[in-house]
Amino acid sequence: MSTAIGLLRDDHSFGFMEYWMKRSALDGSQHANLIYLLPGLLFYAAFVFGPILAALGLSLTSWDGLGMPKWVGLGNYADLFSDSRFYIALRNNAELMIFYCVLPLVLGIALAACVWNLKQREQLALRTFLFLPYIMPTAVLGIIWAWLYNPAFGPFNQFLRAVGLGAFALPWLGDFNFVLPAVGIVATWYFFGFCMVIFLTGIQRIDPSLFDAAKVDGASARKTFFWITLPLLLPEIRVVLLLTVIASIKSFDLIFTMTRGGPANATLVPNIYMYQLGFELNRFGAAAAIAIVGAILTFVINYAIHRFVGSQHKGVA
């Protein structure tokens, strides 16, 4: 009897909990739960999706920011693709990708491979030091690096002159040939530590027995790196590429604070051009067209990275 009561009690308590769990609104049908997405969805619609649609609509009009927008169809896009400045901006952006994506990636992997072999404490110290640039706002970095490059009082040129290399003390941010690399190097410096940290976590993920097996087989460090580490890091390479490519296409703050796109458009990128068209020339339709082209470009390049990088290791990714 007592057992029966106990069972009954257990049954009852179970039934009680079950009752309450069933009462949880989240146990309803998926369809009914959609309502809980509503607040987030409303925010997303108001601040992300709405503006994207608005930009798309705006790009089909001629609008000075004040009067009624005038419908021009694909006119803004036609203008854009016959505008030599836009092609200059695209070319500059492509060149900047070397500094935003390729160099940080190569440096990041190389450093990760070196740092990985260090002792725990040294590894932590180096990881922290090299990651530091990434915690700074890029706009601030732009201002500071512009001072470093200053031909009159910047330390770079003062150093060059001090060691007798005055001939190489160039006006970096005013030189047509060197201005793009000068700005790009800052992006590389900003991203390489971040890439290294991602790759270090990637290496941690790799099964150590693979390295042991390679060692037993007598593989050199170089071979181990190219045949084991690198292929197994493809998922991380993909992540790094995605992030840095997006950063390079949306690059604005660094260039705005360092050169504003100058001299003579030598560092003009689509986003700076968008700003100039919109906020300086009141051609918001044309500016919106650049934004849309930029978004499409981001999607296409990211799709290509998704499709072609790291796809043979789907399980890992």
Q: What is the DSSP letter of 229?
A: I
**Cβ-based nearer residue to other proteins, 217 or 280:** 280
Q: Quick one: which segment of 1-9, 36-44, 58-66, 94-102 binds other proteins (CB under 8 A)?
A: 58-66
Q: Rounded to an integer, what distance in angstroms lies between the CA atom of residue 149 and that of residue 53?
A: 41
Q: Could you tell me which of 132, 84, 127, 87 has the C-alpha nearest to residue 108?
A: 127
User: Is residue 280 near other proteins by the rule CB under 8 A?
Assistant: yes
Size of the site for other proteins (CB under 8 A): 31
Q: Which residues are registered as beta bridge partners of 70?
A: 62
Q: Binder to other proteins among 124, 264, 300, 304 (CB under 8 A)?
A: 264
User: Is residue 26 near other proteins by the rule CB under 8 A?
Assistant: no
The nearest distance, CB 46 to other proteins, in angstroms, is 18
Q: Rounded to an integer, what distance in angstroms lies between the CA atom of residue 233 and that of residue 285?
A: 43
User: Is residue 276 near other proteins by the rule CB under 8 A?
Assistant: yes
Cβ neighbours of 247 (radius 10 Å): 19
User: Is residue 167 near other proteins by the rule CB under 8 A?
Assistant: no
Q: Binder to other proteins among 86, 100, 145, 172 (CB under 8 A)?
A: 172
Q: Quick one: which segment of 12-20, 23-31, 45-53, 143-151 binds other proteins (CB under 8 A)?
A: 143-151
User: Is residue 284 near other proteins by the rule CB under 8 A?
Assistant: no
User: Is residue 133 near other proteins by the rule CB under 8 A?
Assistant: no
**Cβ-based nearer residue to other proteins, 135 or 167:** 167
Q: Rounded to an integer, what distance in angstroms lies between the CA atom of residue 135 and that of residue 142?
A: 14
**Cβ-based nearer residue to other proteins, 62 or 302:** 62
Q: How far is CA 214 from the centre of its chain?
A: 34
Q: Binder to other proteins among 134, 246, 262, 306 (CB under 8 A)?
A: 262
Q: Rounded to an integer, what distance in angstroms lies between the CA atom of residue 158 and that of residue 169?
A: 8
Cβ neighbours of 259 (radius 10 Å): 24
The nearest distance, CB 156 to other proteins, in angstroms, is 10
Question: b/e per residue, 167-188, with b = 16+ CB within 10 A?
Answer: eebbbbbbbeebbbebbbbbbb
231 CB contacts (<8 Å, ≥6 apart)? 313
Q: Quick one: which segment of 97-105, 124-132, 188-196, 264-272 binds other proteins (CB under 8 A)?
A: 264-272
How many CA atoms does the CB half-sphere of 160 hold within 13 Å?
A: 17
Binding positions for other proteins, rule: CB under 8 A? 64-67, 146, 149-153, 157, 169-176, 259-260, 262-266, 276, 279-282
